[in-house]
Chain A
Amino acid sequence: MNNPPQLFEYLIRIADDRLILGHRLSEWCGHAPLLEEDIALANIGLDCIGQANNLYTVAAEVEGKKRSADDIVFFREAVEYKNLLLVEQPNKDFAQTLVRQFLYDSFGLLYFDALQQSAFQPLAGIAQKAVKELRYHFRHSSQWILRLGDGTDESHQRTQEALNSLWRYTGELFESDSLEQQLHSEGIAALSSGMKEEWDKIVTEILNKATLQIPSSEMHQQTGGRKGQHTEHLGHLLAEMQILQRSFPDIKW
Chain B
Amino acid sequence: MSGEIEHDQGDLWEVFIQEDDNAPHTHAGSIRAADPEMAIQNARDVFARRGKAKSMWVVKSDHIKATTPDDVAPFFDPTADKIYRHVQFYKHTLDDELWKKR
Q: Does chain B have a CB within 8 A of A77?
A: no
- Considering the complex, which residues of chain B in the window 1-58 have a beta carbon less than 8 Å from any beta carbon of chain A? 9-10, 31-35, 37-38, 41-42, 44-46, 49
Contact flag A43-B45 (CB < 8 Å), given A34-B32, A35-B9: yes
A114–chain B nearest beta-carbon distance, Å: 26
- Considering the complex, which residues of chain A in the window 1-54 have a beta carbon less than 8 Å from any beta carbon of chain B? 34-37, 39-40, 43
B39–chain A nearest beta-carbon distance, Å: 9
Assess whether B37 is in contact with A36, with CB atoms less than 8 Å apart. Answer: no
Q: How far is the CA of A143 from the CA of B80 in the complex (A)?
A: 50
How many chain B residues touch A (CB < 8 A): the figure is 15
Indicate with 1 or 0, residue by residue over A125-164, a CB within 8 angstroms of chain B CB atoms.
0000000000010011001000100000000000000000
Assess whether A139 is in contact with B45, with CB atoms less than 8 Å apart. Answer: no
Q: Which residue of B lies closest to A36 (CB)?
A: B42
Query: What are the residues of chain B within 8 A of A136 when measuring CB–CB?
Result: 44
Q: How far is the CA of A234 from the CA of B81 in the complex (A)?
A: 73
**Range, interface on chain A:** 10 to 19
Q: How far is the CA of A39 from the CA of B32 in the complex (A)?
A: 12
Query: What are the residues of chain B within 8 A of A139 when measuring CB–CB?
Result: 41
Q: Which residue of A lies closest to B39 (CB)?
A: A36
Assess whether A143 is in contact with B45, with CB atoms less than 8 Å apart. Answer: no
Query: What are the residues of chain A within 8 A of B31 when measuring CB–CB?
Result: 36
Assess whether B38 is in contact with A35, with CB atoms less than 8 Å apart. Answer: no
Indicate with 1 or 0, residue by residue over B41-78, a CB within 8 angstroms of chain A CB atoms.
11011100100000000000000000000000000000
Query: What are the residues of chain B within 8 A of A43 when measuring CB–CB?
Result: 45, 49
Contact flag A40-B34 (CB < 8 Å), given A34-B9, A34-B10: no
Chain A residues at the B interface, C-beta cutoff of 8 Å:
34-37, 39-40, 43, 136, 139-140, 143, 147
Sorted nearest first, the 4 A-B pairs with minimum C-beta distance are: A36-B42, A40-B45, A39-B45, A43-B45
Chain B residues at the A interface, C-beta cutoff of 8 Å:
9-10, 31-35, 37-38, 41-42, 44-46, 49
